[in-house]
A and B are shown apart, each in its own frame.
Chain A
């Protein structure tokens, strides 16, 4: 069964009327949102629209079902952008779905992720209560930061109905540097060394086996000087891309087009020092993969059953989040039960309406 509320009031009314609910935004992360037997799909694609945008404030508020693409179109004329670089916009990702999945893009490296730019939300709890958390100003220490706990909650705590973000001015121009390396170990060394080169980067991605992508943004007039400094730090194996060539590299990253279905898409939060060990396990499988955000996030296109990957991640103490693939298995690898999160659930969702798939976390 599918329900499709078109307003927050309707949403609040509909929630208590269904025993089990699964929230769906644009469906771009199907493992989190595709229909499950016995579970009502709560389709938020009609709960859409930017409700407030004050460009001089660098703040906007939008309903959860608003497509990322629409928000980007609204911000662009004001030379503003979403610094967390939300992926899958072309596939229809919505603002709410992006927040619920906690899915940041490569260029979040520069200024921060969703958690750093979300300043408030209206949340519908499991009893249909509409709760306001945070506010519409960039700094606010009143109340609890409940909205933060919904980042990455995958729709299993409460329903994000409306979100308020601060945004940043967009860079005037960009350049991309592609570095050819011998192997993943040297890629890691490049990542470490460019982070110390004294140049602020927008993105640092490693694409095994032999590629590191760097992106800079800023004033057009300063770009070539900055690129030259980086080239010096990197050495001769660097190519520089501007304009459409630069944009294409990052569009591909944002679309995750290197990981076509039917492979599962798995998101793995990590750190740079564990990258070599993880890649050592993955390399023999030939699974397409990309390490973004200077080694803080692994994205893996997994062609097989998820069991092997599950074991691999568990052995490394890492957790994987399945964004595309079998919906009955949203989490892989190391899963520590968390008393704090469990208690929060009992408050926001006392009846277990959003509890997730039965085999879940």
Chain B
């Protein structure tokens, strides 16, 4: 099958209004949340059923043309940037809940279901879907599965992988496989866990069985303001050492806080160098005791000021501020890179101090928002794309931060994935044997290398797609092996 045959095959699968090929219609699909990257797909299939997805994948496999599944396009690592001249399979219309069983505490959903919609469905039954990426009102479960997405409550609840019990997937060659099931307990190898986080390189998730958990009876949320970022980071270490298990521990520095405050009036203390949000959750008596102990720890941590959320509304405002921090930073700067790296929790202070240092040396402003309980940093690197070379300089700083994470024993990504952005760094975290194993697993699932080609593991040899040079390549920082 050649490329024209492919379009003809796709035209047989879906009606013309759901096969986009005109430049104007395609432009909406050219990039994702990492706006510095762009590519023009050959066509977009607006899939409405699993069979259409399977048909598209089989046609792409036969034609050896790369395809990419797309949820809401909020990826921050370039994971949802199309493959040049490849096919985009848009899954937003596959947003049905196929089964909801509150007694077994599972929901089986199509990949285009939005994260928050699952919780909306479950709440009337005293249940909810725990993973809560800040983008949860728009991002899809399919995208969450692909990236093993996190959120603010991972410290206690874990990542997406911990909440996906089963999957129906189509592999890169069109083979359909069913992984896992409804039970919290698995029979046999936990291959479900391996599919999660594979960034679309094994194929497309068609149905996802999600684990629902009881909604905590009570939340208690406190804002603690500090005179230094380091002091806020140290408080987190102390909380962890004390044996408390809060639902979330988040830190924002002044730049991020001021931006969020201006955007949503969350009630953050003005003038503080950093604010720490800690939230306890659970049943009332247990939380009352935990919260009291928490306040004692905070008051001995050099805190400048604490403020306890008085009611649900105030709690919601605090979280709204935190969750809109990325977009709020857009008020400070025309462009910015959301970086995502992990360090061991005990090294948070050291990492933050070094980032501050790097920011000064490079003369580039960095705002910090992070999942402190997980050691998951999100430095926001601010730049003005209209200034010649500014983006490349920002990328150089981003690279130094990633190397810092590796050096401290952490990871180049906690939750945003490798995507296009971090391909060159995977080889600094894992050795050639590990990478070779990853490539071989990928090849077994997708023999022609057409599933999200070029992401995560980099371009396979002889790939049909070609990308422009990565800005870091242009800057001479990285090169392709």
Q: Is there contact, CB below 8 Å, between A221 and B289?
A: yes
Q: Does A245 contact B (CB under 8 A)?
A: no
Give the interface segment out of B5-13, B18-26, B299-307, B431-439. Answer: B431-439
Q: Does A149 contact B (CB under 8 A)?
A: yes
Q: Is there contact, CB below 8 Å, between A269 and B161?
A: no
Q: Is there contact, CB below 8 Å, between A346 and B198?
A: no
CB distance from B210 to the nearest CB of A (A): 14
Instruction: State which of A135, A198, A218, A339 has its C-beta within 8 Å of the C-beta of B177.
Output: A339
- Residue of B188, B414, B416, B425 with most chain A CB atoms under a 10 A cut-off: B188
By size class, the interface of chain B is 35 or more
Q: Does A79 contact B (CB under 8 A)?
A: yes
Q: How far is the CA of A273 from the CA of B159 in the complex (A)?
A: 26
- Known contacts A115-B190, A153-B189, A222-B288; A131 and B177 CB within 8 A of each other: no
Q: How far is the CA of A271 from the CA of B102 in the complex (A)?
A: 11
Q: Is there contact, CB below 8 Å, between A145 and B148?
A: yes
> Which residues of chain B from 421 to 469 have a CB within 8 Å of any chain A CB?
422, 425-426, 429-431, 433-434, 437-438, 440-442, 444-445
> Which residues of chain B from 28 to 80 have a CB within 8 Å of any chain A CB?
none
Q: Is there contact, CB below 8 Å, between B171 and A340?
A: yes
Instruction: State which of A56, A150, A331, A339 has its C-beta within 8 Å of the C-beta of B346.
Output: A56
Q: Does B350 contact A (CB under 8 A)?
A: no
Using Cβ atoms and an 8 Å threshold, which residues of chain B touch A225? 285
Q: Is there contact, CB below 8 Å, between A341 and B188?
A: yes
Q: How far is the CA of A125 from the CA of B438 in the complex (A)?
A: 13
Q: Is there contact, CB below 8 Å, between A137 and B241?
A: no
Q: Does A297 contact B (CB under 8 A)?
A: yes
Using Cβ atoms and an 8 Å threshold, which residues of chain B touch A135? 410-411, 429
* CB nearest to B293 among chain A residues: A219
Q: Is there contact, CB below 8 Å, between A270 and B162?
A: no
Instruction: State which of B187, B193, B345, B429 has its C-beta within 8 Å of the C-beta of A145.
Output: B193
Q: Does B126 contact A (CB under 8 A)?
A: yes
Q: Is there contact, CB below 8 Å, between A102 and B185?
A: yes
- Known contacts A142-B422, A143-B429, A221-B289; A132 and B375 CB within 8 A of each other: no
Using Cβ atoms and an 8 Å threshold, which residues of chain A touch B250? none
Q: Does B417 contact A (CB under 8 A)?
A: yes
Q: How far is the CA of A348 from the CA of B415 in the complex (A)?
A: 26
Q: Is there contact, CB below 8 Å, between A347 and B441?
A: yes
Q: Does A104 contact B (CB under 8 A)?
A: yes
Q: Does A94 contact B (CB under 8 A)?
A: no
* Chain A 317-341: CB-based contact to B (< 8 A → 1; otherwise 0): 0011100000000010000101111
Q: Is there contact, CB below 8 Å, between A145 and B194?
A: yes
Instruction: State which of A140, A141, A152 has its C-beta within 8 Å of the C-beta of B186.
Output: A152
Total contacts A-B at CB 8 Å: 262
Q: Is there contact, CB below 8 Å, between B194 and A131?
A: no
CB distance from A296 to the nearest CB of B (A): 4
* Chain A 131-171: CB-based contact to B (< 8 A → 1; otherwise 0): 11101111111111110111111101100000000001110
> Which residues of chain B from 176 to 217 have a CB within 8 Å of any chain A CB?
176-179, 181-198, 202, 214, 216-217
Instruction: State which of B159, B184, B237 has its C-beta within 8 Å of the C-beta of A293.
Output: B184
Q: Is there contact, CB below 8 Å, between A296 and B438?
A: no
Q: How far is the CA of A3 from the CA of B415 in the complex (A)?
A: 41
CB distance from B351 to the nearest CB of A (A): 12
Using Cβ atoms and an 8 Å threshold, which residues of chain B touch A331? 187-188
Q: Does A281 contact B (CB under 8 A)?
A: no
Using Cβ atoms and an 8 Å threshold, which residues of chain B touch A153? 188-190
- Known contacts A141-B415, A198-B283; A343 and B374 CB within 8 A of each other: no
* CB nearest to B162 among chain A residues: A116
Q: Does B342 contact A (CB under 8 A)?
A: yes
Q: Is there contact, CB below 8 Å, between B189 and A133?
A: no
Q: Is there contact, CB below 8 Å, between A341 and B158?
A: no
Q: Does A262 contact B (CB under 8 A)?
A: no
Q: Is there contact, CB below 8 Å, between A125 and B414?
A: no
Q: Does A10 contact B (CB under 8 A)?
A: no
* CB nearest to B433 among chain A residues: A129
* CB nearest to B194 among chain A residues: A149
Q: Number of A residues whose C-beta is below 8 Å from B? A: 84
Q: How far is the CA of A222 from the CA of B282 in the complex (A)?
A: 12
* CB nearest to A158 among chain B residues: B437
Using Cβ atoms and an 8 Å threshold, which residues of chain A touch B103? 192, 272-273
Q: Is there contact, CB below 8 Å, between B414 and A144?
A: no
* Chain B 372-384: CB-based contact to A (< 8 A → 1; otherwise 0): 0011100000000
Q: Is there contact, CB below 8 Å, between A340 and B286?
A: no
Q: Is there contact, CB below 8 Å, between B414 and A347?
A: no
CB distance from A118 to the nearest CB of B (A): 9
Q: Does B413 contact A (CB under 8 A)?
A: yes
Using Cβ atoms and an 8 Å threshold, which residues of chain A touch B195? 340
CB distance from B324 to the nearest CB of A (A): 22
- Known contacts A149-B189, A149-B190, A226-B286; A296 and B161 CB within 8 A of each other: no
Using Cβ atoms and an 8 Å threshold, which residues of chain B touch A67? none
Q: How far is the CA of A221 from the CA of B202 in the complex (A)?
A: 50
Q: Is there contact, CB below 8 Å, between A269 and B437?
A: no
Q: Does B98 contact A (CB under 8 A)?
A: no
Q: How far is the CA of A169 from the CA of B182 in the complex (A)?
A: 28
Using Cβ atoms and an 8 Å threshold, which residues of chain B touch A55? 241
CB distance from B372 to the nearest CB of A (A): 12
* Chain B 229-244: CB-based contact to A (< 8 A → 1; otherwise 0): 0000000010011011
Q: Does A286 contact B (CB under 8 A)?
A: no
> Which residues of chain A from 77 to 110 have a CB within 8 Å of any chain B CB?
79-80, 102, 104, 108
Q: Does B14 contact A (CB under 8 A)?
A: no
> Which residues of chain B from 292 to 324 have a CB within 8 Å of any chain A CB?
none
Q: Does B270 contact A (CB under 8 A)?
A: no
Q: Is there contact, CB below 8 Å, between B189 and A139?
A: no
Instruction: State which of B190, B191, B422, B434 has its C-beta within 8 Å of the C-beta of A133.
Output: B434
Closest 4 CB pairs of A and B: A148-B193, A169-B243, A139-B414, A269-B185
- 27 A-B contacts (beta carbon < 8 Å): A58-B240, A112-B158, A116-B162, A137-B342, A137-B343, A138-B155, A139-B342, A140-B413, A141-B197, A142-B411, A144-B197, A148-B191, A148-B196, A149-B191, A151-B189, A153-B188, A198-B214, A200-B282, A218-B286, A221-B289, A269-B183, A271-B104, A296-B185, A340-B179, A341-B189, A344-B191, A346-B444
Apart from the given pairs A132-B431, A144-B198, 12 other A-B contacts in the complex at a CB distance below 8 Å: A132-B430, A138-B342, A138-B375, A139-B374, A143-B429, A226-B286, A273-B104, A296-B185, A340-B179, A343-B445, A344-B191, A346-B444
List residues of chain A with CB under 8 Å of any chain B CB.
54-59, 79-80, 102, 104, 108, 111-113, 115-116, 125, 129-133, 135-146, 148-154, 156-157, 168-170, 192, 195-196, 198-200, 218-219, 221-222, 225-226, 229, 267-273, 293, 296-297, 319-321, 331, 336, 338-341, 343-344, 346-348, 361
